[in-house]
Amino acid sequence: MTETKAQESRPYHHGDLRRALIEAARRLLETEGPAALSLRATAREAGVSPAAPYHHFKDKSELLQAVADEGWTNVANAITEALETTPAEEQRTAIFLAYVRFARAQPALYQIMFEAVRNKETLPLHDAPGEHDAYNRVRKTFMRESGEADATDVELSITAAWCAAHGLAEMAGFRQFDVLKAQLGGELPFLDAVLHHLGLHRTSQN
């Protein structure tokens, strides 16, 4: 029996197969890129039979959607943690540093996340509205700092800041910034300085 046939006949024994497949897909995304991702490759990475992924995902697009959804959950968790561990006067900066650092740490996942929501009416951060969800906490932070109560103006303010942070996340890896990063002392000081010049920096200068 060939290795391929042995793999195809091998049963899976994961207690949480769906979780194992999503984690395997995320590893493949970051090591080999989106083009290398398939149900078969994910099964191989997870150590299960090629047929196993079909117990949870009918095709590659469903797997990618699940990976993207988890990515958005991770972003929300990063933002929430930043808000809970940062003084009130520094929270707006902390929100966008958390967002950009997530995107820089997992660029392939970040790409998949936006591809998955491009044509949706709402982003996942809006899908579970509640008093303490990440988006409403961001909204309250902007309202507190700007003193703005008009709902439309608050949304526009958040959108403008998000566009700026998204652009920074996309461009921060450009090699042309390497010299500037070295001058400033590394990537984090570089991100912090760019946010400052975008008007998103509210920390006190020591």
Local mean pLDDT, 10-residue blocks, the chain (206 residues): 43 72 92 89 93 91 90 89 88 88 91 81 57 73 76 84 88 93 93 84 48
43-66: b or e for each residue (b if 16 or more CB lie within 10 Å)? bebbebbbebbeeebeebeebbeb
Query: How many helices (H) and strands (E) would you count in the chain?
Result: 10, 0
pLDDT of residue 50: 93
- Spell out the domains of the chain, with CATH numbers in brackets: 3-58 (1.10.10.60), 73-197 (1.10.357)
Provide the pLDDT for residue 197.
86
Q: What is the pLDDT of residue 30?
A: 87
| pTM for the structure as a whole | 0.78
Per-residue confidence (pLDDT) for residue 123, from 0 to 100 = 62
